[in-house]
Structure 1
Amino acid sequence: MPGTNQGKLERWHNTRPWRGKSVSSVLTAVLGVTGAAVAAVVVVEAAHRVMLRVGRRSALAAELAKTMHRPFLVTATLVAVQQAIRVFAGDFPGRSGVVHALVLLCIASFGWLVAALLLVCEDLALARWRTDVPDNLRRRRLKTQVVMLRRVTVAAIVVLTAGVMLMTFPDIRALGASVLASAGLVSVIAALAAQSTLGNVFAGIQLAFSDAIRVDDVVVVEQEWGRIEEITLTYVAVQIWDDRRLILPTSYFTTKPFQNWTRSSSAVLGTAEIDVDWSTPIEPLRAELRRVCEGSELWDQRVCVLQVTEAIGGMIRLRALISAADAGALWDLRCLVREQLVGWMWENQRGGLPRMRAQLDEMDDGVARVRQSRRADVSPDSRVFSGGDDAEARGAAFGGAEGHGDTVPTAAGVSGLSGR
């Protein structure tokens, strides 16, 4: 009996090796994991301080120290803990689950680290090519492309990271063959279900590299004047001049016409129109327009022209064609020119203001004589029931018996007469 009990005890210990672990081995595992985590934190913090010091002289180092500190710290700590468990922990209940969880966290943190590194590179590119300069066409094009690439990059990293994490599960890895076998059918169904979404995504990529629109472009869409504020893979945000936002799908800009005022250059032309009388001298107004343009910092010294574009309806229309460096300055310059020309005409050429003319060729007594002559010379063909033999006969037939010929026709009588 004692031998039997001893054999059972040995078998019980063999099936549970962790039960036989000494306190020293458990303590060694805990200290090893803790030491690895602390060492990783110390190394990362030391590298962070070095990067901060170097960042005083280098913009790249400063951006790396700012953006990549947390993902690098998390990644290094998780990798150190995982390796310490593999080396010091040995076998314990749930070891495979813990190691697998750490592997998943390491993959996710590594994806975060790669995404942060790419974002640093993109931010440096955007900082180098600033858009708050007068001639920013090339910079706006690069900014649009970098922003779109950033969104595509982040989406691709997320998808790849999720795929790698899923492939660590044996069941999903075995399912991969059947998934690939049915990939054709699945892709067709997904394409039909997400046709509009995919269309907007491809349209967004097309906009990023076709230069149809760029960030900060001035456009006219849906009869609204505004500025391209943001371009994403699925929609474009247009900031209207009154600070409203017009949200349009990216496919709108690949399928419908729109106006882009700054595609080739930010400098634009505009008009200010006023109506004046035919007697208005034009040359003094041209000189006043030139004076207003030359006295304003809004004018870019390219175009300053005053022309007569219409001469109908008793007035002539003057169009002042002017130019400015950008659309905002042009709007203010148009309003200034219109205001100054109207004020100058009121002060110096009031006779040239629009007026309505009326001409009377006859006096009142002459008009009365004409009316009397028209009454006397009334044609018999203008009467139905009087003024002629046929008319009198119709009047008598309609009026009834003699003595009642002056009866006024009624609506019933007229309808009865028409019925005959």
Structure 2
Amino acid sequence: MPHDALAEVMRHLQTAFAFLPDGLLGSLLLLVAAAVPLAATRWFLRQFYRLAGRFNQTFLQVLVTRSQRPLTTFLVIAAVGLALPAAGFSYRTTVTLAQILLFAFVLVVGWNIITAMNLGAEVYLRRFRLDVEDNLLARKHVTQVRILLRTVQTLLVLITVAAALTSIPSVRQYGVSLFASAGAAGLVLGLAARPLLSNMLAGIQIAMTQPIRVEDAVVLEGEWGWIENITGTYVVVRLWDLRRLIVPLSYFIEKPFQNWTHESSDLIGTVFLRVDYSVPLDRLRAKLREVVEADPLWDRKTCVLQVTDTPGNMVELRILVSARGGGATFDLRCHVREAMISFLQREYPEALPRQRNEINVNNMGNSLDGLLSVRDGRDPAELRRVA
């Protein structure tokens, strides 16, 4: 057996180094047991890192860098645990060190599982690109993987901490309460974790039904922006002026909001113009077609000009143009509005809206008579004769 052979070697070493203080030889053995896997793992990963760089595998280098610490810690704890019975410590010291190593081992196992999940998610998402125009499928997968990954990570952290606590007799009841959610400690934790759990369930719903995805254009709370990041508890919305709006996950399940890119990024933008009755509509329609065909933002689907109302002495025109994406639609609306106003100012200035006032000549004469009589103190008829 490996333990018997190691114990036999340890007895020979204790006999040979009997002059050393008690426990020093055992401590040196544990240090050697920790140093061997530490050095071996670092050497192996360093060689693998260089090999990946030689073949220009940058992604493999990133995987090696991220997995080095949890893997090395796991192997060091395992090696020290195997060498501990042969260290020759007293029973109480050995039990205490074994409990510490077991506690650390459980935490490191959870750490390695979470790291492996992160690496697996990155490998899976490499096939999807968000920097292309038609990225609906990519946004679906990225959203699902990120939300589910963070949800599972939260559950794994709770389970790992609970399992680690149950390995220590003095605090075992707290680990059991975490597992069973029973007792006073479990009740307090349950009440404190209620918002977290509600957001976690909302995250699972969002991952399955996907009312929002990463880089969706949304309007909520009177603000327009894009979904920048979806965490396990909240969503970061990047607003049009680069501000960030932080919204809890449950918001998107409980409250209505606008999603401009839910099934596709195609949108129709509206431009309103108010002009005079004399405006030539056919000429305006021809100019609108000319403007949108010269604009690369137009998706060549919708281009309409209609008279929608006649408020007062003006005509209200509604222009509909389409583009791909909320930002492109907004910019296209601005371009069309500017081009049409410039065209009216240059070609048909008389068609621009103006305020008309009719003047009653008789009333104007009476008003003038009153002003003159007040100023000169004479009868208006006499003033007319003088004039």
CA contact (8 A) 1:202 1:233 kept: no
Q: Does 1:135 align with 2:134?
A: yes
Amino acid at match of 2:208: F
Q: Distance in 1 between matches of 2:179 and 2:242?
A: 49
Distance 1:33 1:293, change over 3 A: same
> What is the deviation of 1:93?
6.0
Equivalent residue of 2:263, what SS? coil
Q: Distance in 2 between matches of 1:139 and 1:336?
A: 30
Equivalent residue of 1:359, what SS? coil
Q: Distance in 2 between matches of 1:218 and 1:86?
A: 61
The residue number in structure 1 matching 2:42 is: 45
Distance 1:108 1:220, change over 3 A: same
CA contact (8 A) 2:130 2:139 kept: yes
Deviations 1:383-418 (CA, angstroms, capped at 9, x unpaired)? xxxxxxxxxxxxxxxxxxxxxxxxxxxxxxxxxxxx
For structure 1, the residue ranges without an aligned partner over 5 or more in a row are 1-17, 372-420
> What is the deviation of 1:362?
5.0
Equivalent residue of 1:150, what SS? helix
Equivalent residue of 2:268, what SS? strand
Q: Distance in 2 between matches of 1:343 and 1:181?
A: 71
What are the equivalent positions in structure 2 for 1:238-257 lying under 5 Å apart?
A: 238-257=237-256
What are the equivalent positions in structure 2 for 1:284-299 lying under 5 Å apart?
A: 284-299=283-298
Q: Does 1:35 align with 2:32?
A: yes
Equivalent residue of 1:94, what SS? helix
Amino acid at match of 2:240: W
Distance 1:53 1:192, change over 3 A: closer
CA contact (8 A) 1:54 1:62 kept: no
The residue number in structure 2 matching 1:168 is: 167
The residue number in structure 2 matching 1:264 is: 263
Distance 1:283 1:179, change over 3 A: closer
Which stretch shows the higher mean deviation, 67-76 or 50-59? 50-59
Amino acid at match of 1:49: R
CA contact (8 A) 2:236 2:247 kept: yes
CA contact (8 A) 1:55 1:65 kept: no
Note the aligned Cα RMSD (angstroms): 3.2
CA contact (8 A) 1:151 1:232 kept: yes
Distance 1:213 1:175, change over 3 A: closer
Which stretch shows the higher mean deviation, 115-124 or 357-366? 357-366
Structure with greater contact order relative to length (CA < 8 Å, sep ≥ 6): 2
Q: Distance in 1 between matches of 2:191 and 2:84?
A: 48
> What is the deviation of 1:147?
1.3
Distance 1:209 1:68, change over 3 A: same
The residue number in structure 1 matching 2:234 is: 235
CA contact (8 A) 2:163 2:175 kept: no
The residue number in structure 2 matching 1:22 is: 18
Q: Distance in 2 between matches of 1:176 and 1:74?
A: 23
CA contact (8 A) 1:51 1:64 kept: no
Q: Does 1:324 align with 2:293?
A: no
For structure 2, the residue ranges without an aligned partner over 5 or more in a row are 1-13, 371-387
Deviations 1:158-215 (CA, angstroms, capped at 9, x unpaired)? 1122122112123555788899898389877765665444333322221222111111
The residue number in structure 2 matching 1:55 is: 52
Equivalent residue of 1:219, what SS? strand
> What is the deviation of 1:38?
2.5
Larger Rg: 1
Amino acid at match of 2:164: M
Q: Distance in 1 between matches of 2:24 and 2:184?
A: 55
> What is the deviation of 1:231?
2.0
> What is the deviation of 1:148?
1.1
Report how many residues are paired.
352
Equivalent residue of 2:310, what SS? strand
The residue number in structure 2 matching 1:378 is: none
What are the equivalent positions in structure 2 for 1:182-261 lying under 5 Å apart?
A: 183=182, 195-261=194-260
Amino acid at match of 1:265: S
> What is the deviation of 1:150?
2.1
The residue number in structure 2 matching 1:308 is: 307
Amino acid at match of 2:267: V
The residue number in structure 2 matching 1:109 is: 108
> What is the deviation of 1:346?
0.5
Identical pairs, percent: 37
Distance 1:196 1:179, change over 3 A: closer
Distance 1:186 1:135, change over 3 A: same
The residue number in structure 2 matching 1:147 is: 146
Amino acid at match of 2:349: R
Distance 1:22 1:161, change over 3 A: same
Q: Distance in 2 between matches of 1:181 and 1:260?
A: 40
Deviations 1:80-137 (CA, angstroms, capped at 9, x unpaired)? 1221222343546622212221222222222212211111111222332121111111
CA contact (8 A) 2:265 2:324 kept: yes
> What is the deviation of 1:239?
1.7
Q: Distance in 1 between matches of 2:189 and 2:31?
A: 47
Distance 1:101 1:281, change over 3 A: same
Deviations 1:243-272 (CA, angstroms, capped at 9, x unpaired)? 222222222221221111000011211011
Q: Distance in 1 between matches of 2:176 and 2:336?
A: 73
CA contact (8 A) 1:54 1:61 kept: no
> What is the deviation of 1:35?
2.9
Equivalent residue of 1:132, what SS? coil
Distance 1:363 1:66, change over 3 A: same
Q: Distance in 2 between matches of 1:38 and 1:194?
A: 41
The residue number in structure 1 matching 2:275 is: 276
Amino acid at match of 1:86: P
Q: Distance in 2 between matches of 1:103 and 1:182?
A: 23
Which stretch shows the higher mean deviation, 318-327 or 82-91? 82-91
Amino acid at match of 2:327: G
Distance 1:290 1:38, change over 3 A: same
TM-score (norm 2): 0.81
